[in-house]
Each structure stands twice: as structure tokens, then as C-alpha cells.
């Protein structure tokens, strides 16, 4: 049966339309990739000062140097946080502190502070590119870490890289464990997310997965403070970098290193102990409790009505003036966490 004459032009029109859509998609995609590459390689950082002198007289030539990278930014707590962290790092031998500040010019206050510790340091001014400050979710600290990576690639040939924020807390044992990292070592980070810990999961001493509050679509759902990288391994991957993509900085950096699960070296006593923790754990709000059996509650909480808790923000106890967060595990929790002491609850809510 012959094809009607009107069908052929219609099919040709649809075919041409589909071809145009495909062409437009590839043009749009290529332009997007070009823009991404242009902005992702935009670096504004420059070195303010470098000191390789260790005034503590505690250098050991047989130990690898740890290059401790700290992104920071101007705020009320900046000097206090850096002072606390610096006085921790003063106890660590063979350590070089790289401080990358999110400022367009060198911060003289930070530079003066660094000299007080006697630690070898590199001070970098590395402002975030303006295009990323307008993002709905700002990729904080990326420009700082990228600037530090750039300095390491140009000046360092061996050692261990570690990213440590200025508001984190570190056990001194951590540094002994990561110092001899061969490729990438990983370990638990405490006081983070809804699960309160982010950690690799081991089976027979090998990493088989990860425990994290926000796995998303990440191959390596870990915290920035939860891994260390051998600098020789880093240099063997010249294109490895950290993307300006909030939430995926750690994952994409590790992916760019070509890391495999079998390459990971678990630390922290087979990932059963935390050596690093987040300082900012969020506001501790009063819990909303439902009725519970008195005999099932360790601190013998008296059952309280939901409306009473919401109205007063206080918890009722029976002969116990102090109550810690562990109590919450014994009750069904509708929302929040019961962490305040009786004295703190009497004062009412405080401003952070």
C-alpha cells in the first residue's frame, strides 16, 4: 500500500526537529563544561609568608612531615580558634602548618599569631571566587584547600597531607597514626551529623563501606577530617583536585586520586575509636517525650505531657538534678535531644 504524501513531510519535519534538539544539547553541554572548567580552575590565592624554621627544637629527620592544612576565614572567633588549634599542634613534631585564609589580602593579625607558636608554617591568602559566593549552597573552604594543594605540588615532594579545620578537636594520637600513611588512611570522626559519627566500616580489617549520616550519591561518604593522603601518592595524580561542589568535596577529591577500597588504610584501632571531633555540634534543644514506663528509664524520668514540654521547654525529673544525653536513648524521642542540666534549663533558652 502506498504511503500518503502528507506523511513523508511530517516525518521529515520530526526528524529535523530531533536533530536540532540533539545539536542544541551538545552545544549547551559543551559550553557548560567550558564554563565549569574556566571557573573551577580560577585561583585567586597567593602566598603571604613561609617559614620552614622549627623554633621548638623538636625535629626528627627519620619521621615524615605532616602538612596540616587549615582553611579559615575572618570572624569573631578566628583568633581564638587558631590559638587553640596552634597550641595543640605545638606538641606535634615534624609538622608544617598551612593556613589558607579566605581574604583578598594577607591578614597581618593571623600572620603575627602564627609566629608565636614556633611551628613551621605557610600563610596563604586564598579568597573564594566571587562566582561561588552567589551559589545557593556555598562551597566553603574549597578555595583555601585548593590553594594549599597548589603550594604543596610546587614545593613539597614527600610527607603526609591532612585537612584539619580550625574548629575541630584533635587527639595527639591521630598524628602518630597518620604519619606513615602509604596512600590514603581513614578513621572515624565524632560529633558529626545525625549519627554523631562518620566512619569506614571494616570486615576482617578491610574497608568494605562507610557509616555516615549523609551518604547521598558519594562513593566515599567521609568527612574532610576523616582521611590523610600520602603526598607521593597525591603527586602521582597531577590532575587530582577538589571541586567547588558543596557536600561532594571530599568524595570527588578522593575519586580524582583514583582511590579504591582496597587502597584504604584504616586507623583508629580498626576504626573503633575517634581521634578527631567536630567542635560545633549544633544547638541542644529540649526533647519532646512521650509517656514511658518508669522502670524502663535509667534516670527515672517522670512522664511528661507533650504540650507541657513544648510550652515550657523543661523536662521533669524525679530526684535527679542533672540529666545527660544518654537518658534519651531510653525513651521514645519525638524531636530534639535532652542535653541541658537542670540549672541550664531553669535559665531558659540561650543565644548562640
Give the integer Cα–Cα distance in Å for 51 and 167.
Answer: 24
Q: How many CB atoms lie within 10 A of CB 40?
A: 17
Here the cell at position 343 is 540549672
The residue written with cell numbers 594549599 in the block is 148
DSSP 252-280: HHHHHTT--GGGEEE-HHHHTS-SEEES-
Q: Is 167 annotated as a binding residue?
A: yes
Sign for the pseudo-dihedral over CA of 140, 209, 219, 146: positive
- Do the Cβ atoms of 288 and 310 come closer than 8 Å? yes
- Confirm if 102 and 127 have CB atoms less than 8 A apart: yes
DSSP letter for each residue of 299-334: T-BPP--HHHHHHH----BSS-S---GGGGGGS-EE
- 250 catalytically annotated: yes
- Under 8 Å between Cβ of 109 and 79: yes
Residue 313 phi/psi, 5-degree rounding, is 70, 20
Instruction: Specify the DSSP element, H or E, that contains 288.
Output: strand 288-289
Element (H, E) at 148: helix 142-155
Residue 147 to residue 98: CA distance in whole angstroms: 10
Catalytic residue among 250, 321, 343, 344: 250
DSSP summary character for residue 290 = -
Binding-site residue set: 167
Residues making up the binding site for Mn(2+): 167
Instruction: List active site positions.
Output: 250
Amino acid at each position: 500500500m502506498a504511503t500518503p504524501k502528507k506523511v513523508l513531510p511530517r516525518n521529515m519535519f520530526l526528524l529535523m526537529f530531533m536533530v536540532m534538539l540533539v545539536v542544541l544539547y551538545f552545544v549547551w553541554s559543551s559550553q557548560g563544561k567550558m564554563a565549569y572548567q574556566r571557573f573551577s580552575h580560577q585561583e585567586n590565592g597567593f602566598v603571604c609568608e613561609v617559614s620552614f624554621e622549627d623554633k621548638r627544637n623538636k625535629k626528627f629527620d627519620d619521621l615524615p612531615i605532616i602538612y596540616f592544612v587549615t582553611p579559615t576565614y575572618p570572624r569573631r572567633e578566628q583568633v581564638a580558634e587558631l590559638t587553640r588549634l596552634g597550641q595543640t599542634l605545638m606538641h606535634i613534631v615534624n609538622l608544617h602548618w598551612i593556613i589558607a585564609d579566605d581574604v583578598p589580602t594577607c591578614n597581618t593579625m593571623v600572620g603575627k599569631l602564627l609566629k608565636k607558636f614556633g611551628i613551621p608554617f605557610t600563610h596563604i591568602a586564598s579568597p573564594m571566587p566571587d562566582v561561588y559566593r552567589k551559589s545557593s549552597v556555598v562551597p566553603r573552604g574549597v578555595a583555601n584547600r585548593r590553594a594549599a594543594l597548589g603550594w604543596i605540588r610546587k614545593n613539597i615532594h614527600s610527607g603526609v597531607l591532612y585537612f584539619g579545620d580550625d574548629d575541630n578537636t584533635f587527639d595527639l594520637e591521630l598524628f602518630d597514626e597518620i604519619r606513615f600513611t602509604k596512600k590514603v588512611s581513614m578513621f572515624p570522626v565524632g560529633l558529626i551529623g545525625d549519627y554523631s559519627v562518620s566512619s569506614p566500616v571494616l570486615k576482617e580489617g578491610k574497608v568494605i563501606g562507610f557509616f555516615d549520616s549523609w551518604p547521598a550519591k558519594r562513593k566515599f561518604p567521609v568527612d574532610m577530617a576523616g582521611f590523610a593522603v600520602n603526598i607521593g601518592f597525591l603527586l602521582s595524580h597531577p590532575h587530582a583536585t577538589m571541586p567547588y561542589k558543596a557536600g561532594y568535596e571530599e568524595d570527588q577529591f578522593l575519586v580524582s586520586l583514583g582511590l579504591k577500597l582496597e587502597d584504604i588504610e584504616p586507623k583508629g584501632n580498626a576504626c573503633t575509636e575517634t581521634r578527631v571531633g567536630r567542635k560545633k555540634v549544633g544547638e541542644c534543644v529540649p526533647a519532646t517525650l512521650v509517656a514511658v514506663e518508669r522502670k524502663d528509664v535509667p534516670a527515672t524520668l517522670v512522664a511528661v505531657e507533650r504540650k507541657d514540654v513544648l510550652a515550657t521547654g523543661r523536662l521533669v525529673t524525679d530526684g535527679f538534678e542533672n540529666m545527660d544525653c544518654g537518658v534519651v536513648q531510653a525513651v521514645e524521642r519525638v524531636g530534639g535531644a535532652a542535653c541541658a542540666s537542670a540549672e541550664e534549663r531553669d535559665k531558659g533558652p540561650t543565644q548562640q
